[in-house]
């Protein structure tokens, strides 16, 4: 599972990395969380790559309301073609989600410790995603997305059994192409070597609260209080 991630790079860096003609100003996120409006990259019918903001938590077209999005922030690669919420989107509406890290936790209950996972040097990367547009009552429109996950490996496997599906840059064009004739074969052949290079670093428990979205979320963990000595 991936329930929080970071994107702290500038709009210019994102535009260069993803081959975008222009990118609007982006708010930095040190603790991006579900239901927030976050950046995704997709391809228009004209073939142009664009960046737009979408709600994290995919809302299928047939959903009665947007609350279903709370249960669809992730899509497993093993079942994405069978799940009703995702099977149409994976064939026609694939996207890339820019990020420079994500969080996982180790331990139980109040003893859980957060870790930030990133590439060496904090380089930008892309998480494979799917997007959708939902039309609700009263002309309400919600554009949303989900992140694909795969079995964990490398540094992530010591913390959790799942991780986001990172796409290597040579795979961007194929993943974004809405006309791919065999999406299942595309997914199976997707280059994803970057995921093995992630490095885990313990960070502040500030990230545990979704209301915190500032550089302090990536600060080193707070030192435990020193024991009191009796006379």
Is 97:110 a contact under the CB 8 Å cutoff?
no
- The number of CA neighbours under 13 Å toward the Cβ of 128 is 31
Q: What's the token pair of residue 43?
A: 């391809």
| Residue 22: Cβ within 10 Å count | 8
CA 147, 39, 14, 177 dihedral sign is positive
Q: How far apart are CA 17 and CA 13, in angstroms?
A: 6
Q: Report the distance separating Cα 122 and Cα 199, nearest Å.
A: 10
Q: What are phi and psi of 164, to 5 degrees?
A: -65, 150
What distance in Å separates the CA atoms of residue 197 and residue 132, rounded to the nearest whole number? 30
Helices (H), the chain: 11-18, 87-92, 172-176, 183-188
Residues marked as catalytic:
2, 104
């Amino acid at each position: 599972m991936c329930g929080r991630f970071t994107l702290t790079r500038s709009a210019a860096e994102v535009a260069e990395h993803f081959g975008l003609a222009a990118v609007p100003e982006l708010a930095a996120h040190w603790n991006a969380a579900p239901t927030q409006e976050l950046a995704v990259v997709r391809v228009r019918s004209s073939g142009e790559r664009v960046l737009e903001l979408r709600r994290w938590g995919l809302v299928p077209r047939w959903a009665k309301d947007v609350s279903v999005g709370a249960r669809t922030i992730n899509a497993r690669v093993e079942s994405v073609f069978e799940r009703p919420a995702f099977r149409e989107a994976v064939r026609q509406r694939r996207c890339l989600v820019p990020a420079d890290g994500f969080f996982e936790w180790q331990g139980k209950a109040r003893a859980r410790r957060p870790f930030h996972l990133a590439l060496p040097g904090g380089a930008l990367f892309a998480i494979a995603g799917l997007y959708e547009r939902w039309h609700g009552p009263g002309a309400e429109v919600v554009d949303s997305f989900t992140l694909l996950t795969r079995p964990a490996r490398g540094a992530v496997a010591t913390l959790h059994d799942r991780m986001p599906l990172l796409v290597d840059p040579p795979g961007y064009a194929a993943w974004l192409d809405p006309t791919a004739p065999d999406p299942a074969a595309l997914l199976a052949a997707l280059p994803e070597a970057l995921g093995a290079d992630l490095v885990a670093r313990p960070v502040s428990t500030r990230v545990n609260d979704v209301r915190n979205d500032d550089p302090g979320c990536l600060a080193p963990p707070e030192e435990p209080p020193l024991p009191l000595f009796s006379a």
